Amino acid sequence: MITQENQDKIFLKQAIALAVENVKTKQGGPFGAIIVKDNQVIATGTNIVTQSNDPSAHAEISAIRNACKKLNTFHLEDCTLYSSCEPCPMCLGAIYWAHIKRLIFAADKTQAAEAGFDDSFIYKEIELPYNKRKIDTLHCHEMEGNAPFEAWIASENKITY
């Protein structure tokens, strides 16, 4: 009988292999991800930022988009995401929004940083007050920022997510 631990390792190996292949075939950065449901691979994704001109097209988000398209849903409740590397804050956010159940990764953010993929600065930026961040940030609280939420609350038969 294959244990969950061994099953996890098999899928994680596939995610790592996808990442290596992505580099060797010049498709993009060294990252790969796989989404699994009921021990079946639903979708895969690799980093395709440069080929698709999409800075959000990291491996995890690509895999989430592919899995959602395949399952015709915007939630992946019973799915596991296997990633060759620890997700950056953008991808971790997407993983939460997609309601993914389990997250398994191999390399961590320190290894990614050593290879030139330093997302630790984003983790640090998130914790800073707006005026201390590297990006010039302005919170215009005097604007009608609540209007969209008021429209949303008043809206009937809306699709929540």
CA distance 139 to 9: 45
Min dist CB 89 to a copy of itself, Å, is: 4
Cβ neighbours for 28, distance < 8 A, ≥ 6 positions apart: 22, 46, 47, 48, 49, 50, 51, 57
| Binding-site member from 1, 2, 127, 131 for a copy of itself (CB under 8 A) | 127
Residues that are catalytic: 60
Cβ neighbours for 16, distance < 8 A, ≥ 6 positions apart: 32, 84, 106
Min dist CB 1 to a copy of itself, Å, is: 20
**What would the x/- binding string for a copy of itself be over residues 86 to 125, using CB under 8 A?**
x-xxxxxxxxxxxxxxxxxxxxx--xx-xxxx-x-xxx-x
Instruction: Report the site for a copy of itself in 54-93 (rule: CB under 8 A).
Output: 54-56, 61, 64-65, 68-69, 72-76, 84-86, 88-93
The sign of the CA dihedral 2, 4, 6, 12 is positive
Min dist CB 128 to a copy of itself, Å, is: 11
Q: Does 16 bind a copy of itself (CB under 8 A)?
A: yes
Q: Does 39 bind a copy of itself (CB under 8 A)?
A: no
Cβ neighbours for 156, distance < 8 A, ≥ 6 positions apart: none
